[in-house]
Chain A
Amino acid sequence: MNRYAMFSKIVLSSLARRRSRMLVALLAVGIGGTVFLGMGAVYYDIPRQMGREFRSYGANLILVPAGEEASLSLEDAARATALLPAEQLIGATPFRYETMYYNMQGLTVAGADLEAARKTSPYWQVEGDWPRTDEEVLAGLDIAEHIRLYAGSSVTLEIAPPEGRRFKKELRVSGVVRSGGAEDGFILMPLRGLEALLGNPGRANVVEISIAATGEQISLLAEEIRAVVPEVTPRLVRRIADSETTVLNKLQVLVYLVTAVVLFLTMICVGTTMMTVVMERRREIGLKKAIGAGNRAIIAEFMGEGLTLALAGGILGSFSGYFFAQAVSLSVFGRGVTLPFFLVLLTLGASLSVTILASLIPVTRATDVEPALVLRGE
């Protein structure tokens, strides 16, 4: 029988044939592994999950005309948005603001790509329908209350194009929008409809962009846009971009802390368990030495048992950690986590290293045991 076969026989028999206290270490490593992998998965997934989540709070990057210009061309805006990573881009909505008159009173009409607006401003609540044709509009909540507009009513606006005569146009109100922001005071209509009424197509005053990225990354992208498309000026919507980054950073620090504390506790638990086991087995260690075991053999057997349990604990922990992360993600974000395989390897590695570290002192104690105690019958 070769050395490894006998070695595994000794290690496995010791684990299997006595109800060892070392099983406590298995439990500790299992729990440690669960938290480690769970935290790892959340840590890895949070920026992506939270990024998407935050995107429901509206645009975090806007494009405005460069210099003194009042408007920018949609072509330039398209060149700028093309620089953004497609898989992170939620949407880009051009807005063009014009003044029209209702009963001699000026009011702001915003022409927008309403399809895109539904993505960049998912928090808008529309009572009624979104416009289906270019001659339908959404009335902002405040305007709607002021001049009594509602879904299905119509509004007649007086339009003064820069060239040509003033004229009146009746538009159907498909719904009332409530945004909680400036839009509540506007009439919103499809950009193409606005262009048809006023001419001068292909221009916007502002393009609102929503992108799933950290504040830092957005800053870098903004730099790039500034450099490549000088006709537009990118601006971070600071409030949102910064708070996203802050929240993410805090969450990640929390994850680090919890993981470190759990690893430390696991190490303490494994260490004290190992120490107890060494004390309990002094007589057996003495006997093994008396019949010829060297320190290396004693260390190998202890580490063999410890690492077998650590491996089992790590595998156990990886499974339960995955379910833990899945459950957390489902309940918090409403979608599952993606678990990269390297996290499982990392968990196993952490389980083994924690066990080795925790066993260093106990194992040294084991080699200190004197064989003479066997004959003395202690």
Chain B
Amino acid sequence: MNILELHDVSMIYGQVQALRDITLSVRQGEWLAIMGASGSGKTTLMNIIGCMNKASLGSVILDGENISRLNAGDLTAIRRDKIGLIFQQFHLISYLTAVENVMIAQYYHSMADEKEAMQALARVGLEQRARHLPRQLSGGEQQRLCIARALINYPKLILADEPTGNLDETNQSTVLDIFHQLHAEGSTIIVVTHSPEVAAHAGRTIRLEFGRMLDDSAWKETPPDSGS
């Protein structure tokens, strides 16, 4: 079953056509990498998939629902229920502790539950750091905290925009290990990366150039995921 389908999606910012006629399907449980030069439209695509922007043209079907015509309020609700976001710059709330940063996502979703938030921290190896503020955490720890927050509401789709862009080798492999676990558990993951090494962990890679989708490694190099 496809969790995500894009049909002829274009994104136009004034004179700039950031995306042109993107058609893409992502199956449930797939791990997809998106590569491409700077300015090729990767983040633009993630913003559309993540319900943060609406496409100028084309349709987007997420989990069976056409989201391309929804208003901002409905998009917020879908983002809250179905998407887990991980950013290159971590983006944590500076005045909340690690566990509170996870709980605030629960709070916006439904109900803050400290116990569950602690379990999520334990999962990324941060249970000892629960009462620390983000600035007291290392870069790798901040990114793991960001992952714990992204996972807390059981999203159908995990979106990560250069999650390892600011991390060293060790932290990068820690993060990739967590992704492997999530993938093994059946999560759908879409990762934007500049690094072929990171992309190699994904089951499938697509490339963007000047807003066009160039190739789809799934069809060339690897057989389609057996689905899960």
Contact = CB atoms under 8 A, between A and B. Distances in A.
B91 A374 contact: yes
B100 A13 contact: yes
Nearest to B48: A372
A283 B79 contact: no
B109 interface: yes
Interface string B21-55: 00000000000000000000001001100101100
A290 B73 contact: no
Nearest to B113: A1
A377 interface: yes
Contacts of A289: 76
B103 A6 contact: yes
Given A293-B108, A294-B73, A377-B88, A371 B96 contact: no
B20 interface: no
Contacts of B81: 292
Contact of A9 (B53, B89, B100, B153): B100
Interface residues of A, number: 32
A169 interface: no
B94 A3 contact: no
B134 to A, nearest CB: 11
A292 B108 contact: yes
Contacts of A292: 76, 79-81, 105, 108-109, 153
A375 B108 contact: no
A227 interface: no
B114 interface: yes
Interface in B96-113: 96, 100, 103-105, 107-109, 111-113
Q: Looking at chain A's contact residues, is the secondary structure mostly helix, strand, loop, or mixed?
A: helix
Contacts of B50: 290, 375
B111 A3 contact: yes
A372 B108 contact: no
B93 interface: yes
A16 B94 CA distance: 12
Nearest to A17: B95
Nearest to A16: B95
Contact of B43 (A9, A284, A375): A375
A14 interface: yes
- Please tell me the size bucket of the interface on B: 35 or more
Interface string A192-228: 0000000000000000000000000000000000000
A360 B79 CA distance: 27
Interface in A267-288: 283-284, 287-288
A73 interface: no
Interface in A4-37: 5-7, 9-10, 13-14, 16-18
Contacts of A16: 95
Contacts of A13: 95-96, 100
B94 to A, nearest CB: 7
B156 interface: no
Contact of B149 (A5, A7, A291): A291
A274 B187 CA distance: 41
A290 B79 contact: yes
A297 interface: yes
B5 interface: no
A372 B52 CA distance: 5
Contacts of A1: 103, 111-114
A170 interface: no
Nearest to A296: B73
Given A295-B73, A297-B108, A376 B113 contact: no
Contacts of B88: 377
Contacts of B113: 1
Contacts of B96: 9-10, 13
A317 to B, nearest CB: 26
B133 A17 contact: yes
A6 to B, nearest CB: 4
B4 interface: no
B94 A291 contact: no
A375 B87 CA distance: 6
B157 interface: no
A9 to B, nearest CB: 7
Given A287-B93, A294-B76, 6 more contacts: A2-B111, A7-B107, A9-B100, A292-B109, A293-B76, A377-B88
Interface of B: 43, 46-47, 50, 52-53, 73, 76-77, 79-81, 85, 87-89, 91, 93-96, 100, 103-105, 107-109, 111-114, 133, 149, 153, 161
7 contacts: A1-B114, A291-B80, A291-B104, A294-B80, A294-B108, A295-B73, A377-B87
- Kindly list the 8 A-B residue pairs having the minimum CB-CB distance in the complex, ordered from nearest: A292-B80, A17-B95, A292-B108, A372-B52, A6-B112, A1-B112, A371-B52, A372-B47
